[in-house]
Amino acid sequence: MANTSLTTHDTPLHEFYASCPEGFETALADELRGMGLRQVRPLKGRVAFAGSPADAERACLWSRLASRIFVVLGRFACANAEDLYEATRSIAWERILRAGATIAVTARGTNDELRNSHFAALRVKDALCDRMLEVEGRRPNVDTDDPDARISLTLRGNRASIQFDLSGDPLFKRLPREATRTHAAHVLRPDYAALACAQGNWQEICSAALTNTKDAMGDEDTAAPADGSASANGSALAGSTAERPTPTLPVMIDACCAGGGVVLEAASILADRAPGLERRNWGFQSWSEHDAAAWRELLDEADRRAELAQGRVARIVATDPSGDAVACARRVLKAAGLADRVIFAQPDLDKISRKLMMPACCGGEPRGFVFLDTTETAISKMSRVLDLATSLHAGACGADPVRAMLSTMPTVALTRDDLLIRTLGEPARSLRVMPNNEEAELAVFSAANGAISAGEGNVAAEDSMPAEDAVESDVAPSPATTLIDLGDGKPCPVLIPESEQFARRLRKVAKLRRKWAQREGVTCYRVYDADLPDYSAAIDLYEGSATTPGRWLVIAEYAAPREVDPALAEARLLDILTLAPRILQVDPDNVFAKARIRSRGGSQYGKQAGGSNPGKGSKPRGGHGGSAPANRPGQGAGSGTPSDIRTRRLPLIEEGGLTFAVNFNDYLDTGIFLDHRITRGLVREHARGKRFFLNLFAYTGTATCYAADAGVEETVTVDLSNTYLDWAERNMEQNGFVGPDHHYVRADVMSWIRDMRQTRNRWDLIFCDPPTFSNSSKMGRRTWDVQRDHVELLVGLSRLLSREGEVIFSCNLRTFRPDIEELARAGVVLTDITDETIPEDFARNKKIHHCYLVKRYTSEEAMRRIGMSEDAIRERTRELREASARKPADTKRFRR
């Protein structure tokens, strides 16, 4: 169909331009030409065109790619403020602005004399108001928050232009409210979504879509173009039917739909819904050349086109490995009234193929594209996305017409790394874009098998080939991937051929670990711990209790050394994430990736960035330093306010006859440290026959549960985080340990110890597992460093012990060295029991933690026990005699 504008040849032309993000210019120019606009010229960050006011308003109504539409009011030389004022005042504002319109003026750019854009905007405003006062006898009101008319100044050297913003709010502000609510999943901005659709020629494909009414019987008047040009339903602007493109069957697959931004835009294009149809306030409504009747005709035409497009036959299929993302996409589509246009499927080629099957549509040629947005994908889900992308891109070599069709469809991807290039090969073309002000690449990968004829490409009818009878055929591997045999009859694609060595090693160690775990009665354990240096990660397997059965993997990547190519390290991690669930027989949905990087002296961390999805938003790539995963949360790492951890449904695991809640989603740790399995048993052993137990830096209270299980009369659990205290109380309650003798205290541990030393509260057994480093704001000005502060901590703990009491002290700083002599001077003796507390599944990492038994003696005895000289002992004894007497202790007994 020939596209023509509403402008007639004798209408004076205005100069307009549409602004856009960089990278959009070519696609926006094509869109404006598709509307029949003339003199279209793509420039940097904008596209100029000429036409009538109605043409500009058509662009406002229909453009999906433009940010704003401007009419240029004047261009002039501008060397200084006086030039700016005089040129602005010479513009006939009284013939431009509607009476009573409020204004706001903005400015961009500077020159040698006009170095402040705010000052330049004020000069434009003053000149405009002075002109209106002189001619009309009134000054327009200024409203910088919500003006009727937005005037902008652009300075480039000694040239300036002034333009009127006809859009009002940016044109991309058109998402339904559901997409912008708090805690909603990321939804790609509509103009970026439209650009992705443009790269897949979606508008052109939908323009020629078949309908299930007259079109199917050969009526040429029912199809409407998907761009902003005039409709074909009898309009005087319609082209001849001979120009009608071959009828198509639009097919679009969003294989990683995130919050649904692209499928929302694709469904809107399919429905031929004008993107500006729901907007009520426009900048051009304050333009004196705005014709309300002509605008009403544009709106009526848009309504007719949407009505005609209701019968279009198409398939838009969306999927995502994240259930949260799919739920958000469903809500967004429902809020936009387009839920019936999109089909959701599981992220699996077979299931997507079944969703694509539909009744044959009178010879319509299937055309479309596959889209992926991996910019917000959790790293733990990326391997599934890449596997699906490979399958969809390659299609099939067999007789399955659905998969054969897939091999003819290009893939459009929005990504921030080169993983898709490694998977699919070099793109045919790409654009650098900036969604969310972060650089990304919008790449187009050519179809695997090229074009196919209409007869070959028809999607199979459901009744002609039931899903269960479909011919299974091997997916052709991408040239950038390698298929390896895992022994289960299903070849697995990997990015790096050397990953086959990792697969063999993991299968071997998993078999050995499984036998050991069954023999020891252990259900949660480390399967792999950087056994191969190039595949530097830790893999932990968790098996649920009978109450919450299931199997989960937590894969923690060790930060790569600086000399390792970050892209190579990322590809290795993706191969680990692909292979581990297959070899260990865990549902890929139950795989959680954590990235650990070294901070000062170790690590302190709590919540994952991004919140509800593992790895989401944290972008755990490109870390350096070669450090091991950190294993402890810092003080106050959890929320300082009451949490929902006690009421949430969480997986339960069993250890030592006790049950604990674990959380794989929200935190970098799961709620239990597997390397302390033996240490917790030691707590139980030493707690037998004891009355009072104290757990400091208690985390989720697992040690408290072991002590309570040993029969202690009273427990005190101290942590700075309300979240962890609630978690600890939940763990205690579900093991049956409730009542007034179990106390939970939110406090800074060091301050709390100082306070307790002033009381008569003493404990028979203390467990203390501090973080390596912490600078929580809840600690006030002080920070915590275990190497620096351990003497103060242990001396304080020794003063809280009963006569026969002892401390089990642990820390995970690999280079930790206790100051034995200084501690002995204070009457504190440490016995290193580290080797006894390292479980077999952590035997490769003997420095995963350090563990000591701590007891108090007189200074003289303590110094003799560690072998200090008699001279040093006599000197210390003299110092103590000269020390001032301590303050009397308070007689109050501890209460929560």
837-859 pLDDT, tens digit per residue, is 999 999 999 999 999 999 999 98
- Closest residue by Cα to residue 719 from 643, 654, 658, 802: 643
Residue 83, burial from CB neighbour count under 10 angstroms (0-12, 13-18, 19+)? middle
Instruction: Report the pLDDT value the prediction gives residue 531, as an integer from 0 to 100.
Output: 94
Residue 799, burial from CB neighbour count under 10 angstroms (0-12, 13-18, 19+)? middle
Mean pLDDT calculated for residue range 328-350: 94
CA distance 329 to 318: 9
Residue with tokens 């897949």: 200
Q: Is the pLDDT of residue 454 over 50?
A: no
Pure H helices in 521-618: 566-584
Instruction: Report the pLDDT value the prediction gives residue 519, as an integer from 0 to 100.
Output: 96
Residues with Cβ within 8 Å of 275's Cβ and at least 6 positions away in sequence, in order, are 61, 62, 63, 64, 171, 174, 190, 194, 268
Q: Is the pLDDT of residue 562 over 50?
A: yes
Band of residue 49 on the pLDDT scale cut at 50, 70, 90:
very high
- Residues of the chain with pLDDT > 90, as a percent, come to 65
Band of residue 805 on the pLDDT scale cut at 50, 70, 90:
very high
CA distance 179 to 188: 9
**Domain covering 652-882 in this structure, CATH number:** 3.40.50.150
Of 93 and 589, more confident: 93
Secondary structure class of 262 (helix, strand, coil): helix
CA distance 36 to 6: 8
Q: Are 288 and 73 in contact (CB under 8 A)?
A: no
Residues with Cβ within 8 Å of 386's Cβ and at least 6 positions away in sequence, in order, are 419, 420, 423, 493, 495, 574, 578
- Asked which of 58-62, 182-186, 459-463, 819-823 is least confident by mean pLDDT, the reply is 459-463
**Domain covering 186-211+247-271+312-455 in this structure, CATH number:** 3.40.50.150
Secondary structure class of 635 (helix, strand, coil): coil
Extents of the domains making up the chain:
14-165, 186-211+247-271+312-455, 492-596, 652-882
Fold: same for 186-211+247-271+312-455 and 652-882: yes
CA distance 79 to 657: 83
Residues paired with residue 254 on neighbouring β-strands, in sequence order: 318, 371
**Rg of the chain taking only CA atoms, in angstroms:** 35
Q: How far is CA 758 from CA 315, 790, 792, 800, 887, in A?
A: 73, 20, 16, 10, 8
Q: What are 370-383's pLDDT values in tens digits?
A: 999 999 888 888 88
Tokens matching residue 19: 């602004």
- Asked which of 280-294, 616-630, 632-646, 710-724 is least confident by mean pLDDT, the reply is 616-630
Q: How far is CA 591 from CA 388, 487, 547, in A?
A: 17, 21, 20
DSSP state of 500: H
**Domain covering 492-596 in this structure, CATH number:** 3.30.750.80
Q: What value does the mean pLDDT of the chain take?
A: 85
CA distance 273 to 227: 10
Q: Is the pLDDT of residue 677 over 60?
A: yes
Q: What are 234-243's pLDDT values in tens digits?
A: 333 333 334 5
Q: Is the pLDDT of residue 528 over 70?
A: yes
The identity of residue 212, as a single letter, is N
Please state the pTM of the whole predicted model.
0.76
Band of residue 643 on the pLDDT scale cut at 50, 70, 90:
low
CA distance 331 to 336: 9
Instruction: Report the pLDDT value the prediction gives residue 872, as an integer from 0 to 100.
Output: 82
Q: Is the pLDDT of residue 891 over 50?
A: no
Q: Is the pLDDT of residue 876 over 90?
A: no
Q: What are 768-799's pLDDT values in tens digits?
A: 999 998 876 666 667 889 999 999 999 999 99
Q: How far is CA 281 from CA 100, 148, 288, 301, 432, in A?
A: 16, 9, 15, 19, 32
Instruction: Report the pLDDT value the prediction gives residue 8, as an integer from 0 to 100.
Output: 39
Q: Rounded to 5 degrees, what angle do the CA atoms 362, 368, 373 make?
A: 150
- Closest residue by Cα to residue 318 from 267, 281, 245, 270: 267
- Closest residue by Cα to residue 873 from 881, 885, 863: 863
Instruction: Report the pLDDT value the prediction gives residue 558, as an integer from 0 to 100.
Output: 87
DSSP state of 607: B
Of 12 and 290, more confident: 290
CB atoms within 10 A of CB 375: 21
Q: Is the pLDDT of residue 739 over 60?
A: yes
CA distance 423 to 448: 13
Mean pLDDT calculated for residue range 563-572: 88
Q: How far is CA 301 from CA 166, 213, 234, 342, in A?
A: 20, 20, 11, 25
The identity of residue 275, as a single letter, is P
For the beta sheet containing 850-856, the strands, ordered from the edge strand earlier in sequence to the opposite edge, are 742-746, 714-719, 692-696, 763-768, 801-811, 850-856, 828-832
Residue 600, burial from CB neighbour count under 10 angstroms (0-12, 13-18, 19+)? exposed
Secondary structure class of 343 (helix, strand, coil): strand
The identity of residue 32, as a single letter, is L
Q: What are 109-151's pLDDT values in tens digits?
A: 999 999 999 999 999 999 999 999 999 999 999 999 999 999 9
Mean pLDDT calculated for residue range 434-457: 72
Q: Are 481 and 408 in contact (CB under 8 A)?
A: no
- Closest residue by Cα to residue 354 from 385, 409, 380, 315: 315
Band of residue 609 on the pLDDT scale cut at 50, 70, 90:
very low
Can you give the three-state secondary structure of 142-194, one letter per residue? ECCCCCCEEEEEEEECCEEEEEEECCCCCCCCCCCHHHHCCCCCCCCCHHHHH
CATH of the domain spanning 14-165, picked from 1.10.510.10, 3.30.230.70, 3.30.300.10, 3.30.2130.30: 3.30.2130.30
Secondary structure class of 730 (helix, strand, coil): helix
Percent helix / strand / coil, the chain, rounded to 5: 35, 20, 45
Secondary structure class of 108 (helix, strand, coil): strand
How far is CA 102 from its chain centroid?
40
CA distance 547 to 731: 14
Q: Across 245-249, 305-309, 570-574, 888-892, which has the greatest mean pLDDT?
A: 305-309
Residue with tokens 């006690």: 646
Query: Dihedral angle at the C-alpha atoms of 217, 221, 227, 230, nearest 10 degrees?
Result: 180
For the beta sheet containing 38-43, the strands, ordered from the edge strand earlier in sequence to the opposite edge, are 38-43, 46-51, 14-19, 68-77, 159-165, 149-156, 103-108
Q: Is the pLDDT of residue 628 over 50?
A: no
Instruction: Report the pLDDT value the prediction gives residue 380, as an integer from 0 to 100.
Output: 83
Residues with Cβ within 8 Å of 263's Cβ and at least 6 positions away in sequence, in order, are 252, 254, 257, 316, 318, 329, 333, 342
